[in-house]
Homo-oligomer: A and B are copies of this chain.
Amino acid sequence: DFVEALRAVVGAPNVSTATAVREQHGHDESMHPCAPPDVVVWPQAVGQVQELAALCHRCRVPMVPFGTGTGLEGGVNAVQGGVCFDLSRMDAIAELSLEDFSVTVEPGVTRKALNKHLRGTGLWFPVDPGADASLCGMAATGASGTNAVRYGTMRPNVLNLRVVLPDGRLLHTAGPGRQPRKRAAGYDLTSLFVGSEGTLGFLTQATLRLHPLPEATAVTIASFPSVGAAVACTVQVLQAAVPVARIEFLDEVMADACSRFSGMGLPVAATLLLELHGSQRSLAEQQQQTEEIVRQNGGSGLAWAEGQEEREQLWSMRHNAWYAALALRPGCQGYSTDVCVPISRLPEVVVETKQDLQASNITGPMVGHVGDGNFHCILIFNSQDPEEAQRIHAFTQRLGRRALAAGGTCTGEHGVGLGKRALLQEELGPEGLDTLRSIKAALDPHNLMNPGKVL
């Protein structure tokens, strides 16, 4: 039968129909209910992915790619069943070129594993969504995170992708073995597959752009009298062409939660966490410019952490924001919203959203990649309480629409997945959605790749 045919391709130990395994692969870190696949397979090589895909294609069985399961929008939930392709055992790091600032990784390689591999080379891969996600998974979801304001999101940092198409054919989005830093050779297939959320094919290898490690790094944290002041400070830092590496916003609720969770003693105020990269000398100048702008906007409490341990302490406070938020209501679940708006509209959108949270009686501290206009409300709620779950849903819809009305997007970096399909329609309009659907139908005519997601 079909499962036997899968076993014939990858060997019996690499196929599982056990309930526990299927359930483990049927959901990510989102609030969507688990939807287990019928089978989980662990291919060991790209040829096996091709054979498995061709088999599923012939039998018209849905296929769901799986990396680390750290997505936030239900991207791996097998809502129509089918075969989950767990690609974590394909984990080669190949073709590191220090002169070209490039490396090629398979789907089992996470961003931390890559940066560990790069130690001592003077290069690093800066995109950091928080979780230790698979780099191919980050490409699939168009991930970004704290460093994007300086180093960009995944899209400009992917040079080529090796894709297994739904029928098992192999596509190299920039051509086989190619990695020029720029190209104008036909439609940009690389950018099309980045952010396609597994709906167009399997990303089985990514060639990435690396960046030189900064000679020196400094981190500071400052408290502001208002959200508006913190955002004005951000705009002025960018206008002054300070090449800020990270500029993260925490609202007063989140600053307080993080402070208590990490035992830091921060003021209960709108807060910015800033990181600067550069040579020793340029860093001193960036610090001085930043300090001036912070003070002009009423910011205070500024102190620079330059040693690695001190810096890591500050960032671990930020990276623990999720847990600090969960600690506000023990036993409850969390869900992170993800709107992104033009920065000029950010203060009003943040202030209105805070009023909405209060009026809706929802606990939802905010963190944001404020240099990009992207912020998250970490909504803490009792998912067992249908009334509360409904209230949370209604709030996320209002927030999405508020961002759209401000010229923004319903998702800056988490993707559409299962939950934002309705908002995506409003965001793109009928012509936009028709265009997405035409592309999907052209590349996956039987709708076998991660069906039910995005569109």
Contact = CB atoms under 8 A, between A and B. Distances in A.
A170 to B, nearest CB: 6
Contact of A238 (B152, B212, B240, B342): B212
A352 to B, nearest CB: 17
Contact of A180 (B191, B408, B455): B408
A204 interface: no
A97 interface: yes
Interface residues of A, number: 99
Contacts of A141: 184
State the number of copies, please.
2
A449 interface: no
Contacts of A192: 187-188, 191-192, 439
A344 B409 contact: no
A432 interface: yes
A155 B191 contact: yes
Interface in A423-455: 424, 427-429, 431-433, 435-436, 438-443, 454-455
Nearest to A288: B281
A214 B241 CA distance: 7
A102 interface: yes
Given A344-B97, A432-B189, A413 B184 contact: yes
Contacts of A178: 404, 407-409, 427
Interface stretch (A41-49, A305-313, A314-322, A414-422): A414-422
A153 interface: yes
A143 B212 CA distance: 26
Best-surrounded residue of A184, A289, A435 (most CB of chain B within 10 A): A184
Nearest to A429: B176
A282 B276 CA distance: 14
Interface in A77-123: 97-102, 122
A177 interface: yes
Given A184-B414, A235-B99, A413-B182, A428 B342 contact: no
Nearest to A440: B187
Best-surrounded residue of A176, A185, A374, A408 (most CB of chain B within 10 A): A185
A279 interface: yes
A432 B188 contact: no
Interface of A: 97-102, 122, 141-144, 148, 152-153, 155-156, 165, 169-189, 191-192, 194-196, 200, 211-215, 235, 238-241, 243, 278-279, 281-282, 285, 289, 338, 340-344, 372-374, 404, 407-416, 420, 424, 427-429, 431-433, 435-436, 438-443, 454-455
